[in-house]
A and B are shown apart, each in its own frame.
Chain A
Amino acid sequence: MTAPRFQLADELLRRLAASLRSAQLYSAGHPIIARNLESLSTRSAR
């Protein structure tokens, strides 16, 4: 895996972990969950 691809994958992993945690910590519809999911989706689109 090339360095930029690894960094992208690493970042995606952290976004997924953050999104999951936000979904565990806050009720559905909370803006923090939305922001984390948005961020995860943006990253995974690349």
Chain B
Amino acid sequence: MVLPDLLLLDDRPPARPDAAIAELATLLHGHLIGQLIVHPGGDVDAWRSFLLLLGRTPESVRVDGGISRVWTTMAGRHLELREIDYAEVLRERAGGEAAVWDRVIANCLQGSVFELDEEGIKELLGIAIDSERLAALMSTLEQSVDAGGGITAKTAALMRMLRGIVDVVSKSDPERLEPVLRNMASAIGQVSPEVMLGLLHEQHDDEGPRLMQAVVSRMTDHTIARFVSRHVIAESAPTDRLALAFQTLVREPEQQERLLALAREDVAASPLGSTEGFESVWNHVAEKLLTSYSDETFVSDEYGRELSGSRTKAVEVERVSDDPPERISVWLGTIATTALRALDLTLVLDLLRIEPDDAKWGELMKPVIGLLEDLLLVGDFDAAIEVVSVLVREVSAESPSPVRRQHAMTAIDLLIAGSMMRHVTTHLATIDDAQFERVKAMCVSLGEVLVRPLAEALSVEERPRTRERLTSILLAFGSVGRRTIERLKTSQNPAVRRTAIQLMRQFGGSESLPDLTELLDDNEPQVQREAVRAILNIGTDAAFRILEQALTSGTTRSRDAIMQSIGTVRDERSTPLFTYILGHVDHRGALAPIYLRAIESLGALRDPAGVAPLRAALYKGEWWAPRRTAALRHAAAAAIARIGTPEATSVLEEAVERGSRGIRSAARAELSMLRRRPARGAAGGGEP
């Protein structure tokens, strides 16, 4: 759903407000698109066609029948465009208003020609010769576009209305043209200063300026004075826009002063006139209205001279006109959009470098942030890195100016608080490794302030490659990144919780143990498994105690899951854990199966370090529990045999020679099998 400055996704606004989306909304609305439905299957060319269509002016698209119709003729299938039917909207709003009123407004809004029957023409003439009704019609039209495409759309709609009325009157009742023009002059005094400026500078064709000249020349002093006073009283427009409109309407200084005196009378008669401080307010407004815009303060004499000269030179070049096409092509290339973008960047970088005044340097921060947001939005990281490096340099301790340092710090904070991370995240999966490394370096250069937004982005990220790269950036922050673990480990997304574990493993140390302990109870088996692995990686007694506690106090389900996780770690990292279990876990009662699995796992690992704890298990047992004791001893003897090193063989031989009857029985069977197998070296290997 398209609103004037917002797009709704099934009635919900986007996850975060974004200037780029607001601009997109404005553009779509300007084309009268009320709803946009995206179907799968839009390839690059199809999307390019749509963007090219959006790039045309709304007026030119409307002349061709409106964006929906044009898009259909372009065979665009992946997008369904629904145009706003203003005529329908107005009918719903106005109820009993005359049909011609609605039709005129709808025609003006949609850019189509007036198509009125005789009755309609008669009705329109009636409105046109009645100054109040004409003003009301214009006002309704201006307000109707209020929900639409901004000043340009308003101006275009009003201009269409004026032209349409003049056409109708000229053809149907030319004698009334003069009073109609006077009514128009009176009616346009009701519009806002912005629309007035738009009408006065209307350049769509040759007719616009001529028509406006005809209307403006008929504006009475009273109309212009009322135009000023109404906006001053209502405070409905910025004074500089009002001043510009006023100065465009009235060129002569003497006349300006005279009309302002009239306007002052109007304002003084209003409630504003009786407020305290009215004189001072009016003097301030009047001063602004009488002061012409000047670029003197922004342009030096020398630059001004060059600027004036360049105009003459351009005319001269045009007159001589002896340049070959290839040279002209190269010249044109220098003003191509990409070249202008490069110049824009160079200009900003130069300004940041040469501006000596700290306060003025600080004023540059707003456009710098705007530029950076644009560059990051489109993924022009190389350009963004250049600009960011200037800010980072000023923030560094080497910066000679504390004022600039503060400006740069604030700019970085604003940038990060804005859309930066969202824009960066959008492109992370598609940039190549070399560029990613540069982006990572840029992120790190911005400092710790980026860590939190990074963690936020990571905690909701679903795409594996993007998540991997965000994690890589976070790790590049070093130990500062550890702070983010708290947030990530509570994410709803299991993949993000696994990322938290991954970070804990990267940072190492037993500080992570409490967090890992929590994740041992995770509902997701994969998260549990990662947590077990991370704990095994720490490999200290404290770490094993945690696993032991989890095994002791956890539910059967969680115990099984942990043991399964431990079982999947088939390398020597888990030997110390199984050794720990054999040394600390009771082989009787509820944990007996865990004890047994630890024996089997040590055998499966075939790690020579497992021989000693297995020997201890072989000799363990109770005479009053012969079946359990026999099962454990057989398991221990089998595990020792699987390890199969000379040391393991010695343990079994010793058991056969000196062990009790049960121990001898368990060891003998395994030893005879072991002897039938080829011998295994002390370093391991041999058994398939």
Contact = CB atoms under 8 A, between A and B. Distances in A.
B38 A12 contact: yes
B374 A25 contact: yes
Contact of A20 (B54, B423, B426): B54
Q: B12, B55, B337 — which one has the most chain A CB atoms within 10 A of its CB?
A: B337
Contacts of B685: none
Interface stretch (B18-26, B81-89, B233-241): B18-26
B378 A25 contact: yes
A18 B54 CA distance: 14
B48 A18 contact: no
Contact of A27 (B48, B54, B336, B427): B336
Contacts of A25: 337, 341, 374, 378, 380
Contacts of B506: none
B427 to A, nearest CB: 8
A26 B337 contact: yes
B24 A32 contact: no
Interface string A21-46: 11111110010101111111100111
Contact of B426 (A14, A30, A38, A44): A14
Nearest to B429: A39
A27 B339 CA distance: 8
Residues of B contacting A: mostly? helix
A35 B7 CA distance: 24
Nearest to A36: B378
A7 B462 CA distance: 10
B631 to A, nearest CB: 50
Contacts of B23: 17, 21
A35 B20 contact: no
A20 B24 contact: yes
A12 B54 CA distance: 17
Interface stretch (B39-47, B254-262, B472-480, B553-561): B39-47
A25 B379 CA distance: 12
Interface residues on A, range: 35 or more
A37 B12 contact: no
A7 B425 CA distance: 14
B40 A44 contact: yes
B15 A10 contact: yes
B51 A17 contact: no
B152 to A, nearest CB: 16
A42 to B, nearest CB: 8
Nearest to A44: B42
A40 B21 contact: no
B377 interface: yes
Contacts of A1: 9-10, 12
Interface residues on B, range: 35 or more
A15 B462 CA distance: 16
B14 interface: yes
B275 interface: no
B430 A39 contact: yes
Contacts of B377: 17-18, 21
A38 B44 contact: yes
Contacts of B38: 9, 12, 44
B658 to A, nearest CB: 66
B78 interface: yes
Contacts of B427: 35, 39
B348 to A, nearest CB: 14
Contacts of A6: 9-10, 12, 15
B69 to A, nearest CB: 21
A13 B21 contact: yes
Contacts of A38: 44, 430
A41 B49 CA distance: 12
A10 B54 contact: no
Nearest to B11: A1
Interface string B43-63: 110111001101100000000
A27 B336 CA distance: 6
A35 B78 CA distance: 19
Contact of B9 (A13, A26, A27, A36): A13
A24 to B, nearest CB: 8
B338 interface: yes
Contacts of A22: 378-379
A14 to B, nearest CB: 6
A39 B426 CA distance: 9
Given A23-B51, A41-B42, A44-B38, A10 B9 contact: yes
A32 to B, nearest CB: 6
Contacts of B41: 44-45
Q: A4, A32, A39 — which one has the most chain B CB atoms within 10 A of its CB?
A: A32
Nearest to A25: B341
Contacts of B48: 37
A45 B379 contact: no
Contacts of B21: 13-14, 17
B42 A45 contact: yes
A16 B24 contact: yes
Given A1-B12, A9-B9, A41 B341 contact: no
Contacts of B15: 6-7, 10
Given A21-B374, A32-B378, A41 B14 contact: no
Interface string B373-403: 0100111100000000000000000000000
Nearest to B24: A17
A17 B20 contact: yes
A8 to B, nearest CB: 9
Given A1-B12, A17-B23, A25-B374, A44 B51 contact: no
A11 B44 CA distance: 17
B668 interface: no
Interface string B21-33: 1011001000000
B379 A35 contact: yes
A41 B43 contact: yes
Contacts of A37: 44, 47-48, 51
Contact of A21 (B7, B78, B378): B378
A16 to B, nearest CB: 7
A39 B674 CA distance: 61
Q: B10, B15, B55 — which one has the most chain A CB atoms within 10 A of its CB?
A: B15
10 shortest interchain CB distances as A-B pairs: A22-B378, A17-B20, A27-B338, A1-B10, A9-B9, A27-B337, A27-B336, A17-B24, A44-B42, A41-B44
15 contacts: A1-B9, A1-B12, A13-B7, A14-B422, A16-B24, A21-B378, A24-B337, A25-B337, A37-B44, A37-B47, A37-B51, A38-B44, A39-B426, A44-B78, A45-B42
Interface of A: 1, 4, 6-7, 9-27, 30, 32, 34-41, 44-46
Given A1-B9, A6-B10, 6 more contacts: A7-B462, A20-B54, A23-B55, A25-B341, A41-B42, A41-B46
